[in-house]
Amino acid sequence: MDIERIGGGSKGRSAGTAYGGLVWAVAVDPKSSDSMVDQTRGALARIDEILAKAGTNKSRILNATVYVSVMEKKGEMDVAWTEWAGDDPQGWAQRACVGTKLAPGHLVEIVVIAARDA
């Protein structure tokens, strides 16, 4: 079984990888606005794209880690996350949020692990 790699916008790293029934994906907002809500929406849209390329979707996310650079804005990230996650608890990922320093201009970075049919 081969490892599948999904290209990203940065040299030396993939935006996603897949092996068997698992997919790993990472995303930031490619536009990097000044808004936590907008950056979260942009990163989640990118996660959707990466998962689709790997043959899965957000309803199959097993684990998500959201890194935020300003914990005081976590509530703003939650607004975008809950819009994206939808109303069905069966589609909600297990999620953790971690405060950390990110690259300049980035307020949020999202990493997910999802299932797919192998």
What is the total count of domains within the chain? 1
Distance, in Å, from the CA atom of 107 to the CA atom of 87, rounded to the nearest integer, reads 25
Residue 54 lies in domain: 4-115
What pTM was estimated for this model as a whole? 0.94
Q: Residue 66 maps to which CATH number?
A: 3.30.1330.40
Residue 54 contacts residue 18 (beta carbons within 8 Å): yes
pLDDT at 118 over 80: no
pLDDT at 9 over 80: no
Calculate what percentage of the chain has a pLDDT beyond 90: 88
Tokens of 63: 């684990």
